[in-house]
Each structure stands twice: as C-alpha cells, then as structure tokens.
Structure 1
Amino acid sequence: MAGKSSLPVKGFGGWLILVQIVLWLSFAGTAMHFLVDLLPIQSGEKWLWLTTPGSPAYDPMWKTIIRFEVYGNLALLLLLALSIICFYKQKRMFISLIIAYLIAIIIVTIVAYGLVQASDMLAAQRTGMSSRKVMQNIATSAVLIPYFIKSARVKNTFVK
C-alpha cells in the first residue's frame, strides 16, 4: 500500500542527526577557544602587554573586549552543555535552551564585533571577527529557530 505513514516522526533521525553533530562541534570549538585563546590571556605577560598604557599593543578597549569574550563564551558553553544534556534526555526544555543559545550567540557576536570596531587600533588592523561572522550567525539562527519551533519531529521527540 503506497501513501503516507500515519506514524508520527520522532527520535534522533532526520535533521536532528545534523543538529547533534553541530551541537558537539560547537561545544568543542567554543571550549577550545575558551581554554586555548581566552583563559591564558587573563593572566601573566599577555594581559600586561595588552592592557598596560605605553605598551606597543596597548589599547584601552582590550580589557573590556577580553572580559566580554571570556564571560560571553563561558555563558555559551554553559548553554551548550545544558542543551546537549537535555537533547539526549529528550527534554522539552531543549527547544527553549537551543533557541536561547542561538539568540545568545547572535548577541555575543554583535557585541564583540562592536567592541572591536570601537577600538581604532583593532578596527584598523582588522583584528577579531568580521561582519561575515555576524551575518553567518544570523543566517544560521534564521533557519534553525523556525525549525525548532515548527518541526513535527522536534515536537514529538522532546516531550519529557
């Protein structure tokens, strides 16, 4: 008999396979950036080199940019960790958490971009992220947020 099945779609199939991969890659990438790039700058010679007036690398915006990056990325890591846990436990809360993460990454990216642009030295050197990263995050969220809201598979999978 040909035709549509009356069974609802649910479980970790379909686009949720890709979502799993993206969750783990995002977590790994953010964790690496946090541990390798951001934490070491917080102490020692790099911090003094960037934040001491008279230093060749000094810019008054460095303290604000670095602190914002540390706290922003820590918040993103926590949201991702909670999202991954809720994803595999099939908690309804996953939908809200992943949407909050997608909105948060847009906010963090826009603010970080604005902070870099507010620094004459950094903006002139094109140091930091580009407007392309901001647009990429907005486009990704514009696709994924409606998916998480409208998808029958998402509604039928995350029910606990």
Structure 2
Amino acid sequence: MSIHGNTDEIGYTGIQGIGGWLLFFTITAIIRPLYIAYDTFSTFLPVLTGETWYSLTSPSSLFYHRLWKPIIIFELAANIISILLALVALFLLFKKSRFFIKMWLFCAIISILFIGIDIILCSQIPALGRESFEVLFHSLLQSIGYLTIWGLYLKKSSRAKNTFIK
C-alpha cells in the first residue's frame, strides 16, 4: 500500500492510511468510549449505590418525581449503548472497513437523538435548574458540531475514501 500518488492492489490512488487529520480523528474516536465509560461510572455509581436512588425514586421522598427512575435508566442504557456502538465503530476503523464511515455516522446521529430525548424527559422535572439544561444543550450543540465537522471530513476526504475500502 502506498502513501502518495501510487495505485494500490485495489486500484485506489492518493493518500491512504491513518495519518493527517484522520490520525487526529482516530485519537478522538479512541478517547470517546473511554470518556463515556468514565462519565457513566462517575455519574451513575453514586446514584445507584447510595441513598440518592431512594430519594429520587421513592414516592415518600421530598425529591421524588415519577420520571426520575425512567430518566436514570434511560441515561444509563443510552451510555452503555453509546459505548458499545463506539467500540464497534473503533473495530471497523482499525479494520479499515468500508462500513466504518456509515457506522460512525450512525453512532453520531444516535448520540444526538439520545441527548434530544434526554432534554425532553428532563424538561418535565421542575427541580432541574437552568444549569442542567445548559449542560444538556451544550452537549447537544457539541455533538451536532462533532457530526458536522467529522462527518463532512469522512465523506469528502480522499484519505478517508482511500483508507476505508476493505
């Protein structure tokens, strides 16, 4: 396989392989499931193991709201699904599979949908302050930006087109 201008065994020409901006993208793709796992662990472990779960989900509690339980379960499930999808995408990336770009786009869109659903669900709980929604909207905008920038790169880049061919 060549780096510049030569034809490889399949007939593609141009730059190939994980390098340039694709290397930077790959680093972010590796960090993503690690970050989601860390965030999930640090957020949900205290909620699920302490008095917090009882105080949010027990009807006799002052902090109770009927949506806390489904929201917590949804967020935990969404994070686990996101980690698994990101790991599948990473596998396809390192395999240089032609299915990688579609899988990555699917992961990015699912992430945006999860955040959107979370915003809708959380908006039903009056106890959540403005700061919670600012964090969620920031995550939503960040995910949309991530999809836009890297999605365009993966779709338009000759390096990406020449790399993900197997």
TM-score between the two structures when normalised by the length of structure 2: 0.84
Report the CA distance between 1:54 and its aligned residue.
2.8
Partner of 1:86: 92
Q: Which residue of 2 aligns with 1:153?
A: 159
Q: Residue type matched to 1:6 in 2?
A: G
- Code of the residue aligned with 1:92 in structure 2: it is R
Using the alignment, how far apart are the partners of 2:31 and 2:162 within structure 1? 25
| Partners of 2:39 and 2:53 in 1: CA distance | 17
CA distance in structure 2 between the aligned counterparts of 1:136 and 1:34, rounded to whole angstroms: 18
AA partner of residue 135 (structure 1): L
Q: How does 1:68-83 map to 2 (within 5 A)?
A: 68-83=74-89
* 1:11 and 2:17 aligned: yes
List aligned pairs for 1:41-56, cutoff 5 A: 41-42=47-48, 45-56=51-62
* 1:1-160 matched pairs, under 5 angstroms: 6-7=5-6, 8-42=14-48, 45-122=51-128, 124=129, 126-127=131-132, 129-160=135-166
Deviation at 1:9, TM superposition (A): 0.8
Is 1:90–1:157's contact at 8 Å kept on the other side of the alignment? Answer: yes
- Residue deviations 1:15-37, cap 9 Å, x none? 11111111122111101122232
Which letter does structure 1 place at the counterpart of 2:58?
T
Identity %: 29
Aligned residues: 155
Q: Contact 1:106/1:138 (CA < 8 Å) preserved in 2? A: yes
User: Alpha-carbon deviation of 1:70?
Assistant: 0.9
**1:78-129 CA distances to partner (integer Å, 9 max, x unpaired)?**
111011111111111111111111111111111112211121111x363363
Structure 1: tracts of 5 or more residues without a match: none
CA distance in 2, matches of 1:10, 1:125: 46
The alignment's C-alpha RMSD in Å is 1.8
